Amino acid sequence: MGDDEKVKNEALQIIGQHQNLPTLVVFDLDYTLWPFYCECCDEDEMPYLYPQASAILYALKDKAISMAVASRSPTPDIAKSFLQTLGIHSLFVTQEIFSSWTHKTEHIQRIHATTGVPFSSMLFFDDEDRNIQTVIMLGIQNGCDKHFSW
């Protein structure tokens, strides 16, 4: 069994221990799913995820938990290209990738409008505390209790 399969099985086991699961998990991209700012990269560079990220995404998919992207990237074309290159773009029911000064509130509101999922049924992962603090005021659960690390 490879490392990805082990991580996926461990994630499935952890998810299985909880009865009240989120309907939708929202992920930031830069320094949350991958360890870089995509605006510092060329579109033709080969992107990569944090080591366990892919297995966790596929564990969520296996449990029929929807996923979305909320990114304030100033280079949405590069971010979308990286998701495509990594073969994970189709895992996300919606991708809100645009530059904004709203610390993700506009992204989350668009995700809510698109999916119809109540804020209280969402779980949010982001590496920036300012984004977390603003969206939890909407009623979203914070997936990053302390420091988020794959």
CB contact at 8 A, 31 and 50:
no
Q: Which domain holds residue 89?
A: 3-7+25-142
Greatest alpha-carbon span in the chain: 44
Residue 18 belongs to some domain of the structure: no
Residue 150 belongs to some domain of the structure: no
Residue 147 belongs to some domain of the structure: no
CATH code for the domain of 104: 3.40.50.1000
Compute how many other C-beta atoms are within 10 angstroms of the C-beta atom of residue 108. 24
CB contact at 8 A, 12 and 32:
no
Residue ranges with strand state E in the chain: 24-27, 66-71, 92-97, 122-125, 141-142
| Cα 43 to Cα 7, 104, 147, distances in angstroms | 29, 24, 29
Residues identified as active-site: 28, 30
Give the total number of structural domains in the chain.
Answer: 1
pLDDT one digit per residue (tens) for the chain, 150 residues: 578 889 999 889 888 888 888 999 999 999 999 999 887 766 777 898 999 999 999 999 999 999 999 999 999 999 999 999 999 999 999 999 998 887 899 999 999 999 999 999 999 999 998 889 998 899 888 765 543 333
As given in the structure block, the two tokens for residue 133 are 């603090």
